[in-house]
Structure 1
Amino acid sequence: MDIGPKIRTLRKNLNMSVRQLSELSECTPSFISQIERNIANPSINTLKKIADILNVPLIHFFEENTNQNESEDEYIIRKKRRKKLNSPAEKAEVFLLTPTNNMRNIEMHMIVIEPGGKSDKLYVNSAEEVGYVLKGKLTLYLGEERFEVNEGDSIYFPGNLPHGWANESNTEVITLWAATPPIIRNKSF
């Protein structure tokens, strides 16, 4: 995925130096430089900070899969056309499962987490979130509490409750999430 050149272009369009972006994002200048050259991969949290600083939604960094059938894209997201964000730092891939049309009030995404993967912090957003564990066992952090969520279990929480996740098992975990209002294509993630 070519996140780096997108960040560099946006930063330069804002006449912002690497040092300025690094200070605002609480990263070192060398790390920002490595991200821009696709040598290092930021966590989702770091990418979100950078997106906010550059005034773009997180969805801007998802892989684009173009389709000639715009009518179909309004209603159906084909498996091969899903927008995907890799987060090697968190050992996770996030797939957007709903259209990115700004008129939508809900969004759905799937997270595939490798063994040992975990969110790099507790997230807070303005959405209500519902999750479902399709495969494996997810460790979920809600505020100060820790829960084991098994395959077939569902989850609900308000996004303003600090939350995070981990895969402490030796098998892949796959989860489905719905959020309203959307958190990935908007700036509330």
Structure 2
Amino acid sequence: MEFGMKIRLLREEKHITVKHMAELVECTPSFISQIERGMANPSINTLKKISNALGVALVHFFDEEDPLTNNTEKYIVRKNKRKKFKSVMENTDIFLLSPSDIESKNIEMHLMVVEPGGKSDKLYTNPGEEVGYILKGKITFYLGNEKWELEEGDSIYFPGDIPHGWENTSDTEAVTLWAVTPAILRAGESLVLGETIYSASHKQ
């Protein structure tokens, strides 16, 4: 099921009007309507606000193939069964590499593919710790008031409460691998609102 349809069904189930949803998400009612009809694609930030308003985890809106039927494979994520979220606004695809239905897990892994020109909509914060590794290409990573140029083979660690974001200024896609603890897509990640990613000092 498309995530726009999921949003509409959950909204109607909770008796939330389009106007009230727009107020909760801080956008226009027409934008909510366009998202639900598949005519607009929200940023990861906007989808987080929607998931918070509807009381569900962000991962609920990730695409996935048919669910696993073999319980012995609950610890395995096959490459054709990864949950995926595509943020057209940020030109970024996020794949969940760890099982989403094990509530007791304390770590999560993501594969993030950022196309040329892709960048985070805002700076993020979360209550955990993150480690990232650049598998392919290069990416500009914003951390607090600084920014770093990371290339293939580079890695980075940081506490999640430091505002952070990314940007691909190159002409090729960047593929990055992330480990996060605790699992933020289950718990919900917070935002640093009103902060741009262009006020950082450059590091290399």
SS of aligned partner of 1:90: coil
Select between 51-60 and 74-83 the one with higher mean Cα deviation: 74-83
Matched AA of 1:43: S
Structure 2 partner of 1:94: 94
Structure 1 residue 127 displacement after superposition: 1.2
Map 1:87-126 to 2 at 5 A.
Answer: 87-100=87-100, 101-126=102-127
Map 1:39-188 to 2 at 5 A.
Answer: 39-65=39-65, 66-72=67-73, 74-100=74-100, 101-188=102-189
Matched AA of 2:52: D
TM-score (normalizing by structure 2): 0.90
Structure 1 residue 71 displacement after superposition: 1.4
Map 1:1-16 to 2 at 5 A.
Answer: 2-16=2-16
Matched AA of 1:134: L
Structure 1 residue 175 displacement after superposition: 0.3
Structure 1 residue 13 displacement after superposition: 1.3
SS of aligned partner of 1:175: strand
Gaps of 5+ in 1: none
Q: Is the 8 A contact 2:134 2:154 kept in 1?
A: yes
Matched AA of 1:188: E
TM-score (normalizing by structure 1): 0.97
Q: RMSD between aligned alpha carbons?
A: 1.0
Q: Is the 8 A contact 1:59 1:186 kept in 2?
A: no
Structure 1 residue 142 displacement after superposition: 0.5
Matched AA of 1:146: K
Structure 1 residue 188 displacement after superposition: 2.9
SS of aligned partner of 2:124: coil
Provide the aligned length of Structure 1 versus Structure 2.
188
Aligned-partner Cα distance in 2 for 1:57–1:75:
20
Aligned-partner Cα distance in 2 for 1:46–1:145:
25
Q: Any runs of at least 4 consecutive aligned residues in structure 1 with deviations exceeding 4 A, and if so which?
A: none
Aligned-partner Cα distance in 2 for 1:184–1:131:
16
